[in-house]
Amino acid sequence: MTDELIGKRVKVLDKGWIELIDLMPHPASAVSGDLAIVNAARVSFLGESKGAQRDKRLLFYLLRHRHTSPFEMVEFKFRVRAPLVTWWQWVRHRTWNMNAQSGRYTPFQENDFYVPAIWRRQSADNKQASEGRLAEQPSGELTQMLLAHYEEGYRLYSQALERGVSKEMARLFLPGFSVYYTWVAKVDAHNLMQFLRLRMADDAQYEIRVYADAIYQHFFAPALPWTAEAFQQFAFPADEA
């Protein structure tokens, strides 16, 4: 299954997606990702694979006791299209290596804006979170208000470009948090697990949680099945559930 991961693209949100563009070790390699982690741990005393059962037991030991450096021997490289409201949180994880599309070089398109499927209420006990659907005002009306805002912003952006304003300044007219950007993002398995632990949590903002869920389900777990099993066991212990 891992040989089908490179180039796989998964749809996220209304216009977003995430694609795996490279993986180390490569799926075509004779060494799986999980075994690369085990081999990296055993190099401390110049050891090698001792069979699947003992290898898996060692990997679980490593993660349970936070011996994390062997997990840095596996790397994932993604191409991701997500709205700025997602990237604003993603870049807080400084262990990722990233390079982004630039609005200074590439003009934005009229439909490059995130339109949420539902409107969420402000959480009553968490100042930074939301919860449930908004019932006080029809979501259709709010969506129409948002679309009108996007249309006007893009109209002004286009007019500025037509008047010869530079792309880097014309984008000031665009609605900031909702515009979609495409990035290339690379991370090792250890730091990816730290990202997933925080961004797959129930209190993570929906617009980044869906990307974390997609990474785990479609890329991380298929590439590293032993590590994913250990991650579920040790990253989300019962007393934190």
Q: Which residue in 64, 121, 163, 199 is the catalytic one?
A: 199
CA angle at residue 22 from 74 to 206, to 5 degrees? Answer: 85
Catalytic residue status for 199: yes
Dihedral pair phi/psi, residue 183, rounded to 5° = -125, 155
CA distances from 48 to 35, 57, 87, 92, 228 (A): 9, 14, 40, 37, 22
157, 171 Cβ separation under 8 angstroms: yes
Residues forming a β-bridge with 7: none
Residue 71's CB: how many other CB atoms inside 10 A? 25
Residue type, 226: W
- Tell me which residues are annotated as active site: 199
